[in-house]
Structure 1
Amino acid sequence: MTIPTSLGRRFRLGAAAVAFSILATGCGAAGSSNSDEVTLRFAWWGNEYLNAQTEKVIAAFEAEHPNINIESEPGEWGGYWDKLATKTAANDAPDVIQMDQKYIAEYGGRGALLDLAKQDGIDTGKLDKEALASGQYDGSQYGLSTGQNAYVIMANTKVFEAANVPIPDDATWTWDDFMDTAAKISASGDGKTYGAAYGSNEADLIIWLRQHGEALYSADGKLDFDTTTAASFWERLKEQRDSKASPPATVATEDSGAGLEESLFGTNRVGMAWWWTNQLGSLEATTGGSIKMLRAPSTDGSSADNGMYYKPTMFWSASSRSKHPAEAATFINYLTNNPEAGKILMTDRGVPTNTDIVQAITPDLKPADTTVVSFLKDISPDIKTAPAVPPVGAGSVQNVIKRFTDEVLYDRLSPSAAAEGFRMEVDEMLSSARK
């Protein structure tokens, strides 16, 4: 999944600033009565499969609510956020918006999203409380989770078998075990197969910090880690390179720009890589083999200390400038709580946070989805509180992590220098956004 560039971020924030000045000039229009026929614009990102699925749930909703028409605005991740910022700036935001947690604060904290907690048409009584909290910012409910995910290591059993390396016990393994396993796979591959891909996602850093009792962000939206701990994160990635547990920097760079079908993991040339649990089905279909999900390694061999957490795959949000807030709330409530909607959406946007919906869809789950539901249940005893919602200005932090990872892997910066540079740059991003 491609994350927008820092240039795109500046454009989005500039457009958002215009949008929020517009929002401040007047109140939102009153919603229409239930008997009026209204049209809601609904924006989301996704592939062809997800688009067809979403159109199906729209048709089901319209059949049940004949006075509400849904106008589809599908898009792709790459251009979705620039387009949304532009429309918000022009006071033309869609009524219902598929939102990512990176931007809950960006949009909600600046007045562009509706506080769903104040909408009578939304029932949150059966939703997981942690999932609810993940869509809250500054005391308002700006999004309802579409479903839960966890960030895990996907082990390609084909690669393990070819290397004659056993899959580790993920309930007790350490980072040393991870490194040793990956190095053995690489050694058997003669430069063609590698043990593990690098983990330079924002979630990788969050998990590492949580294992050390720290966090990327504090509840009040500031950086909340020691620079030496961040440096140890990049030291580990460098060790993966030096021990040949992971590919050379040049190979990793090429791989990061490849689609799944052409990637090292997708072509069965890497044994372990970090993915989100809802991607299991796609990974198995692409590799043509069995993929085993593994918990994150820990520093002490205890799964209770591995720093894993549940993350909302995405959110359902509504524009604060919608002329039909009541109907927008009705649609979001349907997507979140209606069993028929659940049977259409299944787990492609994460495992539903409403346990009634999970029970309703379980008989129809595909094998991979059943595995994901079971896995998320199995790790629940070790899952602690979720990380703080990313603050305003944090939308492009993942790009910064990736850039400093490249600097380390190409020996242009030491891990300590990368950690210091990362902290300074992100702190400036957050400070500028607060002005």
Structure 2
Amino acid sequence: MGTSRNVERRTILKAAGATAATLGLAATTGCGGGDGTSADGTVTIRYAWWGGEPRTIAIKKTIALFEKKYPKIKIKPEFTDYEAFWEKFQTQASGGNPPDVFQNAVGFLRKYDKRGVLMDLKTQADAGNLSLENFRNGVLANGQVDGKQIGIPVGANTMSLVIDLKAFEKAGVEAKFGWTWDEYFDALQTIQDKLKIAGDTGYFSIMYLYDLYLRQNGKAFFTDSDLGFTEDDVTQWWADGYKRVKSGLVADPKKIEQVKPKSGLSAGLAASEFTWDNFSIRYQGEGESDYGLAPIPTTDGKDTGQYLGSLMLSAFSGTKHPKEAAQFIDFMVHDPEVGKIMGYDRGILATTEQYDAFKPTDPNNKGVSAYEDEVAKAGVLGKITPHPSGADVIEAAFLRIGGEVAQGKTKPADAAKALFSEAKAAFAG
């Protein structure tokens, strides 16, 4: 990447810090009854998110700033880990009582838009309560569905390859921008031969990585309403992956399970792992080596299939306080002080106001920022793949079924049939 285009640029690529992924917090209860307005005109709105303790500490600081600026609006926080968040949210949405404002992601937009849960925030932008200006690199489009703005990005990230820098250096292999999948697997073979460890922790169960591979080959994981690939396509993907498990190039899935919640990469079971770039903070805190961000392998030596994903804020369509909810979202995505407090916890800051205000000083945040800058400069970023209603269910199925293939419990062709069957049910739900 950049001038040297390799992973030796440690000042840029080094990942540091402790994991927040394993630090869960219990959810608080929602506001019961009423419309959240007190006798003196003070409005209370509920704000819910998922994430670890560092995120929660930072968000509570930003809430305090907002309440100081808007003394007549009080924020009631609700927070938990990812899985529990969506279990609770589904129950709340079904009961007509979701939070007024909540963290969201692309896999859930169409699902809850289809159910009438999400507010079209363009109406609040038109009313002057929310600005849709100054979003970086076209990321605002991630929150748009069928002409509606139902999510407002707070950060942006992209898929990356996290590598054990010491292992790659010791084996004498280099991750260059534009390298091919064949070159990637050849590098992992060299690592296996020289260091006697697996090259990868289990790439072929990651839906978003398979999406990149498909995009490199003129397809995509999803269309607007269906899967964008065939059973034969994914059968081949999983068959190739299973062969690499059997050969030892991909780590033994049983060993990967044994070290959880630690990553197989930071546990020393393999030399690389595909993940979102802003998740790279976990490895240095967990492992004993040095870790860095390396380029995504390609099919043609150029196109990585990458795009900017994002976490977003959405609002409940039935909120009693749409103006206040929009003002809160506006503050959270545009206020410079909020940007300084949140940093890159939820990805590279999405608006120019916050991006310019936060100057990363630690190696991890510098590395993530530099990685995204290099990917953007390479001109490979495309638009995000559409995610139809049911995408969240299919992502979980892809991970689970891919894991069954890795363990030899399910043959690739049978796994492909199972995935398509589950997808059909998810789309119909």
Q: Give me the TM-score of the superposition, normalised by structure 1.
A: 0.84
After superposition, the Cα gap between the structure-2 partners of 1:324 and 1:31, relative to the gap in structure 1 and judged at 3 Å, is: farther
What is aligned with 1:259? 261
Mean Cα deviation higher: 334-343 or 381-390: 381-390
- Give yes or no for the alignment of 1:379 onto 2:375: yes
Counterpart-to-counterpart distance in 2, 1:51 and 1:107: 24
Counterpart-to-counterpart distance in 1, 2:85 and 2:36: 27
Mean Cα deviation higher: 171-180 or 115-124: 171-180
Question: Among 405, 408, 424, which residue is 2:421 paired with?
Answer: 424
What is aligned with 2:69? 64
Equivalent pair of 1:109/1:137 in contact (CA under 8 Å): no
> What amino acid does structure 2 have at the position aligned with 1:177?
E
- Give matches, 1:168-183, under 5 Å: 168-183=174-189
> What amino acid does structure 1 have at the position aligned with 2:70?
H
What is aligned with 2:363? 367
Counterpart-to-counterpart distance in 1, 2:195 and 2:137: 46
Counterpart-to-counterpart distance in 1, 2:102 and 2:247: 45
Counterpart-to-counterpart distance in 2, 1:288 and 1:251: 18
What is aligned with 2:199? 195
CA drift at 1:31: 11
Spell out, residue by residue over 1:241-274, the C-alpha distance to the aligned partner (whole angstroms, 9 max, x if none): 133211234324445xx112xx322223321011
Identity of aligned residues (%): 27
What is aligned with 1:277? 277
SS of aligned partner of 2:278: helix
After superposition, the Cα gap between the structure-2 partners of 1:109 and 1:139, relative to the gap in structure 1 and judged at 3 Å, is: farther
- Give matches, 1:201-280, under 5 Å: 201-218=206-223, 220-255=224-259, 258-260=260-262, 263-280=263-280
> What amino acid does structure 2 have at the position aligned with 1:311?
G
What is aligned with 1:186? 192
Aligned length: 392
CA drift at 1:309: 1.7
SS of aligned partner of 2:131: coil
Equivalent pair of 1:198/1:273 in contact (CA under 8 Å): yes
CA drift at 1:281: 2.4
Equivalent pair of 1:212/1:229 in contact (CA under 8 Å): no
> What amino acid does structure 2 have at the position aligned with 1:201?
I
After superposition, the Cα gap between the structure-2 partners of 1:30 and 1:55, relative to the gap in structure 1 and judged at 3 Å, is: closer
CA drift at 1:288: 4.6
- Give yes or no for the alignment of 1:109 onto 2:117: no
Spell out, residue by residue over 1:412-433, the C-alpha distance to the aligned partner (whole angstroms, 9 max, x if none): 4443343333223312321x22
Counterpart-to-counterpart distance in 2, 1:148 and 1:187: 37
> What amino acid does structure 2 have at the position aligned with 1:240?
R
What is aligned with 2:157? 149
What is aligned with 2:18? none
Counterpart-to-counterpart distance in 2, 1:168 and 1:232: 27
CA drift at 1:231: 2.3
- Give yes or no for the alignment of 1:137 onto 2:142: no
Spell out, residue by residue over 1:138-177, the C-alpha distance to the aligned partner (whole angstroms, 9 max, x if none): 221111112111111101113334xx21342331322122
SS of aligned partner of 1:241: helix
CA drift at 1:179: 1.4
What is aligned with 2:136? 128
After superposition, the Cα gap between the structure-2 partners of 1:48 and 1:292, relative to the gap in structure 1 and judged at 3 Å, is: same
CA drift at 1:388: 2.9
Long gaps (5+) in structure 2: 1-20, 23-33
Question: Among 32, 38, 46, which residue is 1:41 paired with?
Answer: 46
Q: Give me the TM-score of the superposition, normalised by structure 2.
A: 0.85
Could you say what the CA RMSD is over the residues aligned between the two structures, in angstroms?
Answer: 2.3
Structure 1 segments (4+ residues) deviating >6 Å: 29-32
Equivalent pair of 2:158/2:277 in contact (CA under 8 Å): yes
Counterpart-to-counterpart distance in 1, 2:166 and 2:104: 36
